[in-house]
Structure 1
Amino acid sequence: MKHLNWSLQNLLFIKNSEVGYLEKYETYETRCCYYNSVENFLKEDKESWFKSMCNSFNSLYHLSLEEAQKRAWIDCFNVLQNELPFVNNKYPGLQIIFEYALPYESGRRPDVILLSKEYVIVLEFKQYADVLQADVDQVKSYVRDLREYHSESRNKKVVPVLLLTGTEEKQQQRYPGIILCSKNGIDELCSKIFLEQITPTDAKKWIDSKYEPLPTIVEAARTFMKHAPLPNIRKVNSTVIPQAIECLKEITKDAKENKKHILALVTGVPGAGKTYLGLQYVYDICESNEHVDSIYLSGNRSLIELLQSTLKSKTFVKNVHSIIKEYTSKIMNSFEHNIIVFDEGQRAWDMNQMKKKREIEKSEADIMIEICDKKLEWCVLLILVGEGQEIYNGENSGLEQWNTAVKKAKNNWEIVCPDKLEKEFSLAVKKYPELDLNISLRTHTAGEVSKFINHFIAGNMEQASLKAIDIINNGFNMYYTRNLEIAKNYCHKRYAGHIDKRYGLLASSKNKELKNYGLRSEFELDIVTWFNGEIGDKNFSNSLELVISEFNCQGLEVDMPIIVWGKDLRWYNSTWYPEGKTDIDKVYRLNSYRVLLTRGRDGFIVFIPPIAEMDIIEKLFKDIGVKELKKTLN
């Protein structure tokens, strides 16, 4: 762990990271460009107000102030100066906030907040008359996150309003989840929302509120680099993750004091936070135990490369296959990691794959247990067990190989696991229900997305349809389209200006039609550039040119994936027909699409190629409640 600490202590600032934004927020007094009472705002001179906005923006953000943004502010000022006098006369004491930056959110900023003790009205201004799905989803996501993570908003009614300044029609319209308003309709809008007199509130207190989102894996790693504990995340604290970590700490203490070898297993659905838990566990243990060293292992090359790049260290995070190769080649001098986390350990290579790759008649599980037996006086080997994610050859032996390895071990290993894994082991186990992470954290839908995808991949479309209703209502956006440009425009529009937001093209590795749509894939992909590149780089995910496969994205996530459906998974007579020569090949193909469909934090878009044989896929998504993504909604 000392190598990790070196990385942590020597990093001063991370370019384009959310930690960097946090430092900026700590330097300045507010997280917005302007706030005041509506009454005082109405007394503002346009020129001085605009100058104040520009100065605040330049102080707060690492972003260039574009001319389009300046024009939008002037348009917004003019509209509000015209409409708010009527509102202020009826509802004195209302507060107004411009460009409030959601903490830890890379500069995501609702345009205007109207605030009282009872209400938070989120006004998102657009200088045209068209209703775009990206704009609707943008304002809905602001409201969702304020309700979910913003402490001072939890007892208030949070109202999403999309305000189109390109139209003067006064009548408000209700689209699913938002109110649509024209530039002349703000007075009438407030009269409908405020059913009684409002109570003034402290805008500064609201601006400085605690805000507790879940970090992505990369963001968590960046926080480790700062040698700082991760934020006390409310959504994590509402799950079993804190209990699981405390349980693992007690297990570690027992192993160290009593010189035990313990095999611990944690299970969880996609997005449950297994990788996050593994990183947090080794961090907490090594912070509290000076003489304990740790290592984080995975067979997922993309995850390893991305974490190594983020941590600026190849010591703490390693590819398990390289550790195995070093040991079996008899060049491993020492192995002093008492805490070993093996991510997706059920996917360790079985004996057949090891014989094929290394000419050794042992599984990776056999060898990891052997290393611990020979090299360590005590240890905790933590296996993070995913569900239904096997996509490589030799990964389908599951936990049986760990059962076999422990039975052959030199030491008497103790096994601890959640109740549902007891049947996987012939030896006695200690059961801990808190080691089953059964709630998804990747999205805002408490695990329902994972259940929806499982039903979908299993062909249980009636059950999938029932899940889809709640998922969409809870703010997870699921779309299909036959027009790739509509999908691309949606992503560019929705995440414009949010430099740490990631969207990108995903496809099955067996999809052979990508070139037909001007898309490309690369066998030797630079995954670090794809995830952490910059605008203008054609290999950066947000450029929407380079497609990655299930092998590249497994264990990672983007905010909005565009999934290119291929001919390798067909639907006919209420049954999936995956491509593959053998039954196991077909299982891998189904799992590949399961992986692709569970990568999104905000949702997903499925691009269904506009050819006749794909019409049945469009009908399938439509029938289960996935909405068609359209260019405009009006």
Structure 2
Amino acid sequence: MNRAYYSSSIKNFLSQGNEEVFGIIASNNPFSTDPSQAFAWKEEITVLKHILEGLNGEIFFEYDIPRMGKRIDVLTIIDHVLFILEFKVGEKKFSRNSIDQALDYAVDLKSFHETSHNCIIAPILIATENTGAPLSDYHFKREGILSIVKANRHNLDFHISGILSFASGKPILIDAWKKGRYSPTPTLIESARKLYVDHTVDNIQRNDAAGESLKQTTNSVLEIIESTKRKKEKAICFVTGVPGAGKTLVGLKVATEQLKRDKKSNSVFLSGNGPLVSVLIEALARDKFSREKEIGNKVKKSDIQREVKSFIQNVHHFRDECLKDPEPPFDHVAIFDEAQRAWDLQQTANFMARKKNRPNFSFSEPEFLISCIDRHQDWGVVICLVGGGQEINTGEAGISEWVASLNRSFPEWKVYASNNLNGTEYGAGLPLAQLQKRKNLKLNNGLHLKVSMRSFRAENLSELVQALLDLEISEAKANYKRLESKYPIVLTRNLKQAKDWVRNKALGTERFGIMVSSQAQRLKPYAIDVKSPINPVHWFLNEKEDIRSSYFLEDVATEFQVQGLELDWACVAWDADFRYAENGWSTHSFKGNKWQRISKEERKVYIKNAYRVLLTRARRGMVIFVPEGDLNDHTRPPSYYDETFEYLKSIGFPVLS
């Protein structure tokens, strides 16, 4: 694929006239070229014609970065260095946003472009009219990526020669580099934006095992929908996957694909995860609003939000609408994200009596939701996206209640299930055993996502976390050995040190933040108060200057706010609610003025699952902060924390010094 508007050897570029080069760039621009853009390209050509004299290599104007939906102004390969030249024509200052933009390009190429993995990448930000003297403090910010260099039109050549001398390495083979595949791992928010704009994420998806697994599962679900519609049947489909494997993305892809294929039998993506729904709706609305504004369209953000809400909805709003209206819902396909979190009969009945004035309500949430789609006379499909070991709230029934509802009330429905539904994290194999009694059960290996996409640098992170929580120490050690070189996990007992670590690790706009268990009530001495509510929209979407954003490392998020979402770098603060002991984890809840041991098995599972969620949110790495405790505070003695720290250390996680 030709990713650039112009690409040529430096030698050929220097031999061509300025207008000829500009003409090629402009002719490959799919949009109309406005005067300011034309001026910028002409200035860039003029500057580069001067500073590249005598150098050999390749040059690319407007090089495409598909995951980010943006283009590098100029990318040039000279000997052993790949230079990212981001021009701010006419500017005198270097803005924070521009610095982050150039670093983002470097990180993206290093991470996702296969022939750039081993390259030295030098991002240079050029404010053409800056008058400062050149600073030549070159150093690597991350393996293979230099820290940002600030230049102007007069000293750019000084920096290029300086970097070539500073960074030693093998020459980049240009022909081989050009053939490199781009295999990104977009965040859920990035993927959702792309899906909403043009109903496809194909050009920003990975081509490895994780990407193939995602395609296979999506296609399996779409085939089930088509077959069910053709035969005028009713069917339910259980999709399983390890944490971060892309279950939510499968649901969004299926919903948008169905919207594209058949507008008469619409599909809806439903989630009981309020923060996830709020963040996705706001992210899509902000993105579309800015796109419309860029092309001069006058739109109201509130109108866009209403449009998005027809595609992504809170499952409780869907439920309430079906309570009011006995007619079949508009949607023939209902996709339930995190289906294991649906309420059991007792929780549903209590809610209906208290909030909806419906005493004696006799349905669990799964049974009522299936009944809504069952109202259709012709066909309907329910898709359950199931995360194992992620029930974190009182009354969450797990997948077994969906199975019980089917067996109790919907004997004619066809059931398609992943073979992995018998895993311990889905209920010790009970769901699949209960389903085996049905004649209309079909098992399908394609309905399981087996590779994590969130931790693209450590595909076995979920196995490590599973072993860590199950106290399988030898297995946890082995899993950590496989990922330690590419996915850092470190320990500290100093919160400031933890904050500094994530700040220093993050480049560009890579997002970082602090996460804690919702039961972590004795972190107040560290200014961490789980009772202080955050707005997940601000925390996940706002920029670095906003004190409400995760970047500021002031507001913390709990498992309820982060489930289904992700950070690049995470600080996990570990309190005394979940303590390591020789005979197993000891779970506690803080009541009044002291910790109380939790004895109820269901509540023990919730706390364990809370830490499972927290430990699987980071895409690139994490620091775990375990406080030292305080002998003068009866609620925080060191004994509550020391054994946990030593256990984590025994797995092999290094301690920050």
**Range of TM-score over shorter length:** 0.7 to 0.9
Q: Aligned partner of 1:558: which letter?
A: L
Alpha-carbon spacing, 1:167–1:531, altered in 2? closer, same or farther (3 Å): closer
* Partner secondary structure for residue 539 of structure 1: coil
Q: Please say if residues 140 and 177 of structure 1, whose CA atoms lie closer than 8 Å, have aligned partners that are also in contact.
A: no
Matches within 5 A, 1:96-245: 103-105=66-68, 115=78, 146=109, 149-150=112-113, 152-153=115-116, 157-158=118-119, 187=165, 190=168, 193-194=169-170, 201=174, 206=178, 211-232=182-203, 233-235=205-207, 238-245=211-218
Deviations 1:345-379 (A, max 9, x none): 12211112112222423211111121122245211
Following superposition of structure 1 onto structure 2, how do residues 216-615 of structure 1 map, counting pairs within 5 Å?
216-232=187-203, 233-235=205-207, 238-311=211-284, 312=305, 313-328=308-323, 330-331=324-325, 334-359=328-353, 360-395=361-396, 397-409=397-409, 412-421=412-421, 422-425=432-435, 426-428=437-439, 429-445=441-457, 447-473=459-485, 475-495=486-506, 497-498=508-509, 501-522=510-531, 524-573=533-582, 575-579=584-588, 580-611=598-629, 612-613=638-639, 614-615=641-642
Separation in 2, partners of 1:111, 1:594: 43
Taking a change above 3 Å as real, the CA distance of residues 178 and 483 of structure 1, as seen in their structure-2 partners, is farther
Equivalents in 2 of 1:185, 1:534: separation in Å? 31
Describe the shift of the 1:523–1:489 C-alpha distance in structure 2 as closer, same or farther (beyond 3 A): closer
Give 3-state SS (helix, strand or coil) of 1:340's partner: strand
1:403 CA displacement? 2.0
Q: Which has the higher contact order (CA 8 A, sep 6+)?
A: 1
Q: Aligned with 2:388: secondary structure?
A: coil
Give the CA deviation at 1:401. 1.6
**Aligned-partner Cα distance in 1 for 2:555–2:189:** 21
> Are 1:626 and 2:626 matched, yes or no?
no
What is the CA distance between 1:468 and its match in structure 2?
0.9
Sequence identity percentage: 28
Give the aligned residue type for 1:230.
Answer: V
- State the shift of 1:201 in Å: 3.0
**How many angstroms apart in 2 are the aligned matches of 1:471 and 1:143?**
23
* Greater Cα shift, 362-371 or 234-243: 234-243
Change in 2 beyond 3 A, CA 1:621/1:96: farther
- Kept in 1, the 8 Å contact 2:103–2:508? The answer is no
Per mean C-alpha deviation after superposition, the further-off stretch among 515-524 and 553-562 is: 515-524
Task: Decide whether aligned partners of structure 1 residues 97 and 308 sit closer, same or farther in structure 2, where only a CA change above 3 A counts.
Answer: closer
Query: Judging changes above 3 Å, is the alpha-carbon distance between structure 1 residues 167 and 152 closer, same or farther for their aligned structure 2 residues?
Result: closer
Letter in 2 for 1:224: L
Q: CA deviation at 1:99?
A: 12
Maintained 8 Å contact 2:271/2:314: yes
SS at match of 2:347: helix
Partner of 1:20: none
How far, CA to CA, are the matches of 1:559 and 1:179 in structure 2?
17
**Partners of 2:81 and 2:122 within 8 A in 1:** no
How far the C-alpha of 1:151 sits from its partner, in A, is 5.0
Is the 1:340–1:382 contact (alpha carbons within 8 Å) kept by the matching residues of 2?
yes
Opposite residue 404 of structure 2, the aligned amino acid is T
Unaligned runs of 5+ in 1: 1-24, 41-57, 61-76, 125-138, 169-173
Secondary structure in 2 matching 1:263: strand
Q: Distance in 1 between matches of 2:532 and 2:316?
A: 19
How far apart, in 2, do the equivalents of 1:162 and 1:216 lie?
23
- SS of the residue 2:484 aligns to: helix
**Once structures 1 and 2 are overlaid, which stretch shifts more, 290-299 or 613-622?**
613-622
Q: Is the 8 A contact 1:520 1:545 kept in 2?
A: no
Deviates more, 1:314-323 or 1:105-114: 105-114
Q: Does the aligned pair in 2 maintain the 1:352–1:361 contact within 8 Å? A: no
- Partners of 1:452 and 1:142 in 2: how far apart? 30
Equivalent residue of 1:368, what SS? Answer: helix
Counterpart amino acid of 1:273?
G
Give the 3 Å change call, closer, same or farther, for CA 96–316 of structure 1 in structure 2.
closer
SS of 2:239's equivalent in the other structure is strand
Size of the aligned set, in residue pairs, is: 526
Instruction: Decide whether aligned partners of structure 1 residues 355 and 278 sit closer, same or farther in structure 2, where only a CA change above 3 A counts.
Output: same
Query: Does the 8 Å contact 2:338/2:385 carry over to 1?
Result: yes
Deviations 1:77-109 (A, max 9, x none): 9xxx9xx99xx9xxx845689998855348899
Deviations 1:130-152 (A, max 9, x none): xxxxxxxxx99999864663255
Q: How does 1:51-62 map to 2 (within 5 A)?
A: none
Instruction: Specify whether residues 326 and 284 from structure 1 end up closer, same or farther in structure 2 by C-alpha distance, changes over 3 A only.
Output: closer
The answer to whether the Cα contact below 8 Å between 1:236 and 1:441 also exists between their aligned partners in 2 is no
Residue 399 of structure 1 contacts residue 424 of structure 1 at CA under 8 Å; is this kept in 2?
Answer: no
Contact 2:520 2:530 (C-alpha < 8 Å) held by counterparts: no
1:310 and 1:615 mapped to 2: Cα distance? 41
Inter-CA distance 562–189: structure 2 relative to 1 (3 Å threshold) = closer
Contact 2:241 2:247 in 1 (8 A): yes
- Give the superposition deviation at 1:489: 2.7
Coordinate RMSD, CA, aligned: 4.2
Query: Which secondary structure state, in structure 1, belongs to the residue aligned with residue 200 of structure 2?
Result: coil
